[in-house]
Amino acid sequence: MARILTLTLNPALDLAIRTGPLRLGEVNRTESTRLDPAGKGINVARVLAGLGHEVTVSGLLGADNETAFVRLFTERGLRDAFIRVPGETRINAKLSEPDGRVTDLNGPGPRIPAEALEALSQRLESLLTGLDAVVISGSLPPNVTPEQLAGLVRAVWARQVRVWLDTSGAALVAGLAARPSAVKPNEKELADWAGHPLETSEARLRAALRLNAEGIEDVIVSAGAEGVLWVRGGEALAATSPRVSVVSTVGAGDTLVAGMLHGVLSGWPRERGLRFATALAAESVRHVGVGDPGASDFEQLQQRTEVRSLSVDALPGGTHG
């Protein structure tokens, strides 16, 4: 299997809360609560390790509440290369209601000393030897700039290691300018980058093709219940997820990234990789946490995942409008 590094600059302890329908301004009773070490890159790493890859996790981690993270890394067989910073890693609250709606209350994260960022850059140099891929995921701490994120993308590319990016806002814009090998925006993040609403599948396809034409090899767009779009080399595939009961969508996008990268690194045909990753993301929303390829019905989920080719030439108004 492959050797992979995930970078999480702003990890979090995720407080997952299941409730009945929320009544704002009133007392609400919880059905369940759990606190898990998380962050997008850590979620990706958990899935990839479960698929048999050798995974190193790095980034910036608060020293004052690291215990749950260290325990997770040990339990999941993840190599811990995080730089510790003063203070606590943030806590994010995820409120899940019976209809599947999830409300995120995300903290900003700690301020990062300049010496910690320098230490991360130096550690990255030592970690890149022999890697097959790097995944950079998640938001930025308050005083880490989008340009610094782009610098990390360029540093990985300078060593000729493929780099996958999953972030949003200004960080996504700056990261895209550094030309990662792959990017995984959701439909809103893609629209924010494009500068206008993308309300149809055709509009999302045009935007993805623009990124592809600008030098990003793999563009993967997650659109919730509308499925997943994958553009490579000017050719497009779309997947429709199987219908499942939704408990929590937290971690579904990270599961999709891990599943897609697994298929690419395994050399699978594109249809097989997209079907696998889409089904794995669907499996993940049935419970709190990331997708489990060992689920008893995972083969059935793959069989119920529809993958089809899209005709790029038939797009009205051209492919890059």
Active-site pick, 36, 64, 254, 313 = 254
- Which burial class, exposed, middle or buried, applies to 76 when counting CB atoms under 10 A from its CB (0-12, 13-18, 19+)? middle
Q: Under a CB-based contact definition with an 8 Å cutoff, are residues 35 and 164 in contact?
A: no
Q: Distance (Å, rounded) from C-alpha 56 to C-alpha 76?
A: 11
Angle at 192 between CA 205 and CA 315, to 5 degrees: 20
Residue 254 annotated in active site: yes
Which of helix, strand or coil describes residue 247?
coil
Q: Distance (Å, rounded) from C-alpha 35 to C-alpha 91?
A: 9
Catalytic residues: 254
